[in-house]
Structure 1
Amino acid sequence: MQAKGQLRILWNTQPVEEVLADPAYPDSLKRKIELIQEIKRFAVDSIGLNPSGSYTTYYEQHGQPILWVITASEPYRLAAYQWSFPILGLFSYKGFFEKPRADREEAALKNAGLDTRIGEVSAWSTLGFFKDPILSSMLDRPVGRLAELIIHELTHGTLFIKNSLEYNENLADFVGEYGALRFMAQKYGTDSEIYRSYLAEREYDERYDEHILRGTRKLDSLYRTFGKQTPVSEKQRLKTVMITQIVETVDTLTDGQPKLIQPLTKKRKTGKLKLPNNAYFVGYLTYRKQQNQFRTEFEERFNGDFKRYFSYLKETYPSL
């Protein structure tokens, strides 16, 4: 199923050169494609990521979602459900190119008593096995988020450790954000509005990260108090109270500024909060738990020399 979906997309891509030469495509789209080429060159030349054939082709989605990813967790323990894939190892998420298949998988997991979460994905990496295309949905992103995304995925193609998904995703997030800041500083300057706006987003995101990670620690502590004799109804009540507190205190992070990222949750039509579940929190840990570890190691052991730091990582950790 995965191979079929991937090959269907690759079969329907266009070389970037053709898109740039085609008058039917708007100039705004072409400028974003040219920007991606610039970001990619920067990632290779200035950060030290491996050269790649990715982002040399374009896939038009016509406004339609292309991939759905499922995460799942035990309901009263922050323990991610894992899938095993040949060569790649264990993953705490699974992607589907067909929504009905994703829905059936999620239903089966729910029937097994697990917390689940399903969401659309706008990019992924095939780790160098294929030439990953530029997806039309990527081009809707502002410059900073686009640079983050491209550098994140190129990091996967440079260093990806089997059975270490949390490490891989945390590293790619760290490199993507660091690389985006450097790229924007070089291209636009640190005094530019576009750079300062992106930096403000990153600062808010870091506060949000800390808030959610504190929340996961509180949830973990709560779950550890549950014993075999604790009624399920009481477990669910205490869990709901804790997650409600985490959600309702998100507003304290804004410091009077408008929210810069998508809210943690949304209101139901009834006006009540639609709370996230454990699948959200274990998914967050997959991407954000080790950020401070990478930053500290980079700054203190390597004095901010990123190429030297990344060379060390590639030499230390065996990649696929």
Structure 2
Amino acid sequence: MLVPCLLLVLTGCADTRYYWQSVTGHWQLMQAARPIDHWLADPTTPLALQQRLKLARDMRRFAVTELHLPDNASYQRYADLQRRHVVWNVVAAPEFSLTLKTWCFPVAGCVGYRGYFSEADAQAEAQAQRAAGLEASVYGVPAYSTLGWMNWVGGDPLLNTFIHYPAGEVARLLFHELSHQVLYVPDDMVFNESFATAVERLGGALWLAQQASPEGRQAYADFDARRQQFRLLTRNTRDRLKEIYSTDGPQATAKKNQAALKQQTMRDFRAAYAELKASWGGYSGFDAWVAQANNATFGAQAAYDELVPGFEALFVREGRQWPTFYDAVKDLAKRPQKERAQQLKQLAAEQKG
């Protein structure tokens, strides 16, 4: 499933209440975090958690030595938040568009989601977006990145919200979040998330090949195969929706046709998912996503997928060398947004061809 990131802004916000919940929520998280060695030395720490913390520590070292990701305070501590998610994100989009509503913050710029440390607050925000005529969804987030801004006070910690994920997923998540500390471009969510997703996929594959047991690699391969099938289904559905929403013609007629075609596309999507689920023996990991699927959820997922093939092609072009790959990405980030996106798409097409 997706591993979305809340780029928490602690530098200012016009909405005082929202700013306050962000600051207090993050502060509580930081207060709950203790160094990994403290947890390992505590006799009350469950054995399963001890094993996972040792594994995560090895993954963190791998991220530095093999992937050349930042070597700093992040993910050197652990916190148990006593809940399933660290934050809840709200996404919203128009009835006939996959373009996400954006919220803008100092430094981080504009992003297509708004995060809350309270699920009730997130649901209230989603309802407000629906009242304004948008489609909205709320989803729980297992981790987020502060872009390295908080390393001086301990950095982003490991969390109970993801520490017991399949080992390959924990590795991918860590690599994804750390990549945001390599580069973050304000106002370009698709570029940022696609870059981080490319790093997590490439780095995760390398970690599995070098560090995982044969049984672990097989278990993860089975898990990832289901995810890739689901992503293909959602990508095809997004393409159909984009085509529907771009229909020409008089506005009234177009909207009538769009509504009918949209409804049919969503029915087809859910029917195809039911077939996939049956082929997986009833695996239900994507049920919650499918249940609330709408323009907002499809739009959010696109940010994590759209430019990934281009970044992967760039990695190959740079000789699969992480430092030169990061330098190339930083150079690309200096170009205008449309230009860098177009170049990534061209690289992907050339590799595919």
TM-score (norm 2): 0.81
Aligned positions of 1:2-17 closer than 5 A: 2-17=22-37
Partner residue of 1:270? none
Partner residue of 1:209? 231
Partner residue of 1:28? 48
- Unaligned stretches of 5+ in structure 2? 1-20, 335-353
Aligned positions of 1:243-262 closer than 5 A: 243-251=266-274, 256-258=279-281, 262=285
Aligned positions of 1:1-320 closer than 5 A: 1-130=21-150, 131-188=155-212, 192-225=214-247, 227-230=250-253, 235-251=258-274, 256-258=279-281, 262-263=285-286, 274=291, 276-299=293-316, 301-317=317-333
Q: Alpha carbons of 1:304 and 1:251: their partners in 2 closer, same or farther (altered >3 Å)?
A: farther
Q: Alpha carbons of 1:254 and 1:294: their partners in 2 closer, same or farther (altered >3 Å)?
A: farther
> What is the CA distance between 1:63 and its match in structure 2?
3.6
Structure 1 counterpart of 2:124, one-letter code: R
- Unaligned stretches of 5+ in structure 1? 267-272
TM-score (norm 1): 0.88
> What is the CA distance between 1:252 and its match in structure 2?
5.3
> What is the CA distance between 1:200 and its match in structure 2?
3.5
Tell me the distance in 2 between the aligned counterparts of 1:49 and 1:314.
Answer: 14
Q: Alpha carbons of 1:92 and 1:34: their partners in 2 closer, same or farther (altered >3 Å)?
A: same
Tell me the distance in 1 between the aligned counterparts of 2:117 and 2:292.
Answer: 27
Q: Which moved more, 1:231-240 or 1:150-159?
A: 231-240
> What is the CA distance between 1:45 and its match in structure 2?
1.0
Confirm or deny: 8 A CA contact 1:181 1:199 kept in the other structure: no
Alignment RMSD (CA, Å): 2.3
> What is the CA distance between 1:207 and its match in structure 2?
3.2
Identity %: 25
Matched residue of 1:139: which SS? coil
Confirm or deny: 8 A CA contact 1:76 1:235 kept in the other structure: yes
Structure 2 counterpart of 1:240, one-letter code: Q
Structure 2 counterpart of 1:228, one-letter code: Q
Tell me the distance in 1 between the aligned counterparts of 2:284 and 2:330.
Answer: 32
Confirm or deny: 8 A CA contact 1:148 1:179 kept in the other structure: yes
> What is the CA distance between 1:234 and its match in structure 2?
5.2
Matched residue of 1:140: which SS? coil
Cα offsets for 1:212-264 (capped at 9, x unmatched) = 11211110111122642138565433211111112212355579444667235
Matched residue of 1:249: which SS? helix
Matched residue of 1:178: which SS? helix
Partner residue of 1:269? none
Tell me the distance in 1 between the aligned counterparts of 2:71 and 2:168.
Answer: 21
Confirm or deny: 8 A CA contact 1:201 1:260 kept in the other structure: no
Tell me the distance in 2 between the aligned counterparts of 1:317 and 1:234.
Answer: 39
Q: Which moved more, 1:233-242 or 1:212-221?
A: 233-242
Confirm or deny: 8 A CA contact 1:247 1:275 kept in the other structure: no
Confirm or deny: 8 A CA contact 1:247 1:265 kept in the other structure: no
